[in-house]
Amino acid sequence: MTKNIICPAKINLFLEITGKREDGYHTIDTVMHTVSLSDILHIDVTRGEGRIKLSSNGSAQIPTDEKNIAYRAAQKYISAFDIKGYDISVVIDKRIPVSAGLGGGSTDGAGVFRALEEIFRIGDKKTLDDIALSVGADVPFCMYGGCMRARGIGEILTPACEMPGKMCMVIAKGSRGVNTAKAYSDADKKSSYVPKMADQMIKSLEKGDRSFAEHLFNRFEETVFADIPEIAEIKEFLVRGGAFASLMSGSGSAVYAFFDDKKNASAACEGLISRGIFACVTEPFGKADF
């Protein structure tokens, strides 16, 4: 049994840190949207002894053992549903940059869950959602995609209106990644602030036009930009190149930008690539695209 699964990246249209729990986990209020930049998973399930094998065409940064979310997703699935007598092979065609705030690991884990559910058809959505969360906070969202508001530690999901039409976007990432734990730690050191809420973003998306761009927000930008100026420089380059809005995704280091037309987007993309920076033209990837 073979499955080829598209695993789209995600961007954060809004991201606020709303608190910190006693167990050390931070609570957030965020609006996430999947985009067409995607990894491709090739998954084979054959009769065997319960072995899991994972490989990737990507860089050495990508682990091929339990450190990889996709590997852990396969482990969790076969354990939770007591599946025996099958070997699982996962090959990741890696296209989403790592350590970028684009959910590259989470979407691969979600892709494994989606593929295995298509193969075994257990149909236990509650258990599947629970084990998805146990693998990573963004994995439940990446299971379904589209646009959703996430609260708590990311597990409280509410569907939201998707971005309008085929908006033209550029995603770019410089040479450095961002360590998520450090990003949260640096944010904790800042003076206290009154958390923003994503309500205005949600309302603006309901209008079906580009007014949502007025409410783009990411709490991490201030501290991450100070630590890695290159990220702020990439954002400035995209805005100078004609983007009508731009924001860092997640805890970084990728930046995305919206353009009125593909010509300007392509020119900005090529300008970044010529400087040795990863960049690609992409567009929203809706729930119906899954």
Q: Which neighbouring-strand residues pair with 44? A: 2, 89
Active site residue 130: no
Residue 45 pLDDT > 80, yes or no?
yes
The per-residue pLDDT for range 195-242, each reduced to its tens digit, is: 999 999 999 999 999 999 999 999 999 999 999 999 999 999 999 999
The per-residue pLDDT for range 74-127, each reduced to its tens digit, is: 999 999 999 999 999 999 999 999 999 999 999 999 999 999 999 999 999 999
pLDDT above 90 coverage of the chain, percent: 86
The one-letter code for the residue type at 96 is: I
- If you average pLDDT over every residue of the chain, what do you get? 95
Given 29, 39, 108, 138, which residue is catalytic? 138
Given 10, 76, 173, 235, which residue is catalytic? 10
The per-residue pLDDT for range 141-177, each reduced to its tens digit, is: 999 999 999 999 988 999 999 998 789 999 999 999 8
pLDDT for the residue 263: 95
Distance between CA atoms of residues 159 and 152, nearest Å = 15
Distance between CA atoms of residues 214 and 205, nearest Å = 11
Considering only CA atoms, which of 16, 249, 271, 284 is closest in space to residue 147? 284
pLDDT for the residue 89: 98
pLDDT for the residue 107: 98
The per-residue pLDDT for range 9-34, each reduced to its tens digit, is: 999 999 999 999 988 889 999 999 99
Domains within the chain, CATH numbers bracketed: 2-159 (3.30.230.10), 168-289 (3.30.70.890)
Tokens 């007014």, residue located: 211
Active site residue 10: yes
